[in-house]
Each structure stands twice: as structure tokens, then as C-alpha cells.
A and B are shown apart, each in its own frame.
Chain A
């Protein structure tokens, strides 16, 4: 996984032999909290409603949709390669979205993530200091 990847995939515990897409640690450094669900992020990157995103996962990537009657159903992929293909697609669109629409001209996505990582590490250090927790270097 690259530091700039915003999405990755993991083996599911609840759906044996299936995979699901989840945000990465880099994603959570940027999007720290929500009143909704981070499950919606891939749909937003695709520019689809969540229902259409689920249909897309099902029809183009062979996913099974679980969570009948839930507001935030999950797509589970039995084929890890196809799941990985979709993750790659989502990551490339996310990088494009940041580069073309969110970041100042000339700022690379990689340097933005690097900056966010430094900020996050400093925040963790400050919190640890405030709580009297020794750093790992100590």
C-alpha cells in the first residue's frame, strides 16, 4: 500500500472468503470524523449515489451486497483481484480529485499527505505529553 492510497481492501470476518473496501490510515488523517458513514466515501469519489455505487460494485465487479434494509449496506467481493482493481480505480480518482480540485496549483498529493502525516504525528506526541505518556523513543 502506498502512503497516498486512500482506500484499501481486507478480508471480511463476517463474510467468509470475501473482501471489502475500507479507508486507509491516510484517509483518516484527513477525514477525522463524520456524522454519517465513511462507507459513502467511495461513492462520492465515483460521483454516484450510494445506491448506484452498490449497483456498480455488483454489476461491474461481481460484489454481493449485504445489510438488507440497512442505510449503509456493504459490498463484499469474492474475487480479490476484481476488488483490488476497484480499489486502484478509486485511489486514482481520489488523487485526481485532490490534485485538480482541492489542493493549490503546484501542490502534489504526495507532499500533501506527507504534511498531514507530520501534523498527525505531532498531534499524537502533544497528546501523549499532555497525558504524561512517555514517547517510544524514551
Chain B
């Protein structure tokens, strides 16, 4: 798994938890801390905040950088099949809609 600098982790946290009380609460539940502590980190990273950020990052990293399939596992077996996939499936349209609800 990729290692990130403290600055990158801070960027990640800011990308996820921009000024939202609800997001701070969710983050706090994941790492067993309080919303205030998470918010404190986002405003200025301290040692405790750094640990929270690292835990949070690993949580996310397993989804976004740990689960990228190998090329062999891709479903496309021809240029045509790959080309057809440039259109959203219905489920993907729904996923995009949910994506915007996240932020």
C-alpha cells in the first residue's frame, strides 16, 4: 500500500471533511475519537490528529488504491468491448448521483 506524506494526508482529510459537522462525526466514529478532535486536526494538524488522519487514510486507501484490479482481471477482451464501455450503465449513473451527495 502506498505511503503518503503528512501533507498529503492533510489534503485527503480536507477533501473528505470540508467543514461538515456530519462528516466530522462519521470520521470520529471510524477512529474512535470525537468530532471536535477530528475538526481540530483539519484546522491544524497535531500529533493526535496525525494518528487519526493515518487511520482514516488507511480506511479509504483500501477502497481507492488497494482495490485496483490487475489488467488481467479487467472484463474487456477486445477493442470493441472496451469502446462500448464508454457509456455509463444505469447503476453507474446512480453511483455518480450518490457521489455528489457525499460532498
Contacts and interface: CB of A to CB of B under 8 A. Distances in A.
Contacts of A35: 86-87
A68 B68 contact: no
B11 interface: yes
Contacts of B72: 100-101
Contacts, number: 98
Given A47-B69, A96-B71, A59 B86 contact: no
Nearest to A32: B83
B76 A51 contact: no
Interface size class, chain A:
35 or more
A85 B92 CA distance: 26
Contacts of B74: 44, 47, 97, 101
Interface residue tally on B, bucketed by range: 35 or more
Interface in B1-48: 2, 8, 11-12, 15-16
Given A50-B88, A55-B64, A60-B64, A101 B99 contact: no
A124 B50 CA distance: 58
B21 to A, nearest CB: 21
A117 to B, nearest CB: 16
A68 to B, nearest CB: 6
Contacts of A110: none
A102 interface: yes
B64 A56 contact: yes
Interface of B: 2, 8, 11-12, 15-16, 60-61, 63-65, 68-69, 71-74, 76-79, 82-83, 85-88, 92-93, 95-100, 103
5 contacts: A47-B74, A50-B96, A59-B64, A102-B78, A102-B79
